[in-house]
Each structure stands twice: as C-alpha cells, then as structure tokens.
Amino acid sequence: MIAVHDLIFEYKTDGIKIRVLDGLSFNIGGDEWVALMGANGSGKTTLSLLLKGLLTPLSGRIFINGNLVDPSREPEGSLGLVFQNPDHQFVAPTVEQEIAFGLENRGVEPVKLREKVEQHLSAYQLLDHRHRSPSQLSGGEKRRLSLASVLVMEPTGLIFDEPTTLLDPQDRDDFLKFMLSMKGKMAILFITPYPDEALIADRLLILHRGKIAYDDQPSKVFNHSTQLKEWGIGVPSG
C-alpha cells in the first residue's frame, strides 16, 4: 500500500547540501502496523513529510495504493499525517472549523460536511469544546482533535510522528488504546522514540544513515545489542 523506492532527499541551507535520505526503500502492506525508530536527526520527520507529498525528493519514487506521490500536482496525497506537536498541525480558529477545514478544501457539500463534523466531534469527545480555540485545549484534547481532523478525511493510511511525547501518562495510555483499536484497519507508520511502543507494532524499521538498517519483528531487534547503540536506539523499560 505504501511503496518507497530508492528515495534520496537533501536539504539545502546556505548553499550547503545535507543528504538526509540516501537510497531508502521499503514497503508497508494495506493493513500493516509498522514502527519507525532512528536517532535524533536521522530523518524520520523528513520521511513523513515526503510520504505526505509536502517535500520533493531529489530522486526515487513513492507510491500510495499504486499512485505516484507527486508534490507538484497533489500536495495532499491520501495519507493522514499526525504531527508530533498538534499546535503545528492546527490552522483554524475553532475546534469545529479545524475538523471541517480539510473537507471544505476538498469541496464536500455542506450537509455532508456538517454530518461528518458532528460525527467526529462526538467520536473524539470534543462536543463541549467545539467553539474553543485549538490552542486553548489540554494536551489530551489537542491530540484527540489532531486525530479527528486527520481521520475525518478518511485517509487510506496514517503516519504518526512521535504522537505521545507531549502527553501526560493518562493521555498517553488513552492514545495507545486508540492506536490498538486501529490495528489491522489501515496501513500505519508509527514513528516513536520509545522501544516499549515499538514492541506493539507488527514490524519495526530502523532508519540509519539515510537507509533502512533493520526491518523485522520488533522483539528481535534487541538481539542486535551491538548495533543498537550505533543506531541510537534504547531498550524497553519492562
């Protein structure tokens, strides 16, 4: 469902090129849940922006459901991206407008739009907050709004970029329960700095020096004790 072939990406700052992805390839099946780990600055967020069509690779190709991701033609793509910091995702002045925003851009007709917004306000326990500014919500409420505004678009797959790092323990538990309920329903790429969270996935990818250095069951990664340090990966707490 997600197919990445030989992806090369560079940032250019002040004429200096930094190669972040250097011939990256992997596939994710239509209902697979895949965790992605890698050291700070290894390029995880960059990869998520490329998958979403928000950055243009130097070379290589990305297919979502067989369709080429082409940032010059379709910047939105069909994957939902849940940002690490929900405040970076929000664009609208109120909670209900935030949920409606993508649907409006897509030209969904008003009756259908209203219906979907109501459904998602209710499903994510945001009815009481509908007229509030997203910036005034608590951490857990912000996370629920970020999910509602992504899922209302009915994406064919989801990318989560470190979704629990800013949550308190209770909100983190609630969020992980939600993630478990999504398992098997769509392709999920779950970027996490926490080995405990990666253990829940079907598969673990490790990004190192611009390539996939590990692609196997999450639990088996801890057999590679000598490489874990080099890859910048910790071990589970439990």
Ligand X SMILES: Nc1ncnc2c1ncn2[C@@H]1O[C@H](COP(=O)(O)OP(=O)(O)OP(=O)(O)O)[C@@H](O)[C@H]1O
Asked if 44 interacts with ligand X (CB under 6 A), we say yes
Q: Contact region for ligand X (CB under 6 A) — 37-45, 88-96, 141-149, 172-180?
A: 37-45
Contact 124, 98 (CB under 8 A): no
Q: Which among 211, 222, 183, 192 has a CA at the least distance from the CA of 36?
A: 192
Least Cβ distance, residue 144 to ligand X (angstroms): 22
Least Cβ distance, residue 49 to Mg ion (angstroms): 10
Name 80's bridge partners.
Answer: 158
- Using CB under 6 A, count the residues that bind ligand X: 12
Least Cβ distance, residue 108 to ligand X (angstroms): 32
Name 163's bridge partners.
Answer: none
User: What single-letter DSSP state applies at residue 75?
Assistant: T
Q: Which among 184, 183, 188 has a CA at the least distance from the CA of 205?
A: 188
Q: Contact region for Mg ion (CB under 5 A) — 16-24, 40-48, 133-141, 151-159?
A: 40-48
**Residue 42 burial (CB count, 10 A):** 21
Q: Which of 27, 45, 78, 227 binds Mg ion (CB under 5 A)?
A: 45
Question: Which positions touch ligand X (CB under 6 A)?
Answer: 11, 13, 18, 20, 38, 40-46
